[in-house]
Amino acid sequence: MRVLSYGDETLLQRHMTAIIFSITNQRGGVGKTTTAINLSASLARKGIATLLIDLDPQGSTTSGLGLKRESRGSLYDVLHGEAHAIDHIQETSQKNLSVIPAEVDLTAIEVELSQKGDYLMWLRQCLSPIKNSDRFRAIILDCPPALGLISMNSLACADKLIVTLQCEYLALEGLSQILSVIEDLRTRGINPSLEVGGILMTMFDIRTNLSRQISEDVQKHFPRLAFETVIPRSVRLSEAPSFGQSIFDYDKMSSGDKDYERLGEEVIHRFGL
């Protein structure tokens, strides 16, 4: 058996397929889009070629990076089989970070997908060429705040799910629902390899017992899934998207900058990026 040289190992790494991360939660206002933007930016800053895909018709991720929601710029035509996803990729000012933006037309895709055969598999088919193109190491999907067909398609094609969990009791009920959906997708053979890659506690308020208790409960019941990084409430994190910037460009001295930098490091180490 020939021993791999350093050059051989490098070649193998170069031909690894991308890992698709779905950031999904059926509730809004839990830091999902904030995490999609800043985790993507954090990975890109660390040299990880990253593609961020905005699947939410509201386009918060798109505008949060200073991009415009333009007709035929999203995956709408792609999901209809009329275009190729790779042609919709836009470069950003951030090195190693590319985006496929959203547009209002995505609102109609929920109904239109339901009329197609294998309606949960269309996004997987659309993204397969990109996943295997050797162009990106991480693909991050930001989904609508509901478990509709877009979000279900993202779960059907994802390798790992990252759950953003607000530090409140109702969030734990939502987590139970998400875990049930994942188990259903696995048992039905739609995505047998889908796993929860991590649970990220967001909007943590150190001043309240509730935040600490919820965080402790998650760490206790899901010790292998909970990220060590916790994202506190932050005015600067809330402001950054209105300026079309990640927290790294908006305020390098903020706590949000440091928190998402740590999260990026965790994701790299946990998933071997």
What residues contact residue 5 under an 8 Å CB cut-off, 6+ apart? none
Residue % of the chain over a pLDDT of 90: 58
Sign of CA dihedral 134, 79, 55, 149: negative
pLDDT-derived band of residue 6, with 50, 70 and 90 as boundaries?
very low
Domains belonging to the chain, first-starting first, are 18-271 (3.40.50.300)
What residues contact residue 221 under an 8 Å CB cut-off, 6+ apart? none
Please give the pLDDT value at position 7: 46
pLDDT digits (tens, 9 = 90+) for 190-232: 999 999 999 998 887 777 777 788 788 888 888 899 999 999 8
Neighbours of 90 (CB within 10 A): 14
Question: Measured between alpha carbons, how far is residue 11 from residues 8, 16, 44, 134, 273 in Å?
Answer: 5, 9, 21, 11, 15
- Look at strands 50-54 and 97-100 and give their pairing: parallel
Sign of CA dihedral 171, 176, 179, 185: negative
pLDDT reading at 8 higher than 60: no
pLDDT reading at 4 higher than 60: no
Contact 150, 58 (CB under 8 A): no
Contact 127, 136 (CB under 8 A): no
Q: What angle do CA 242, 248, 253 make, to 5 degrees?
A: 105
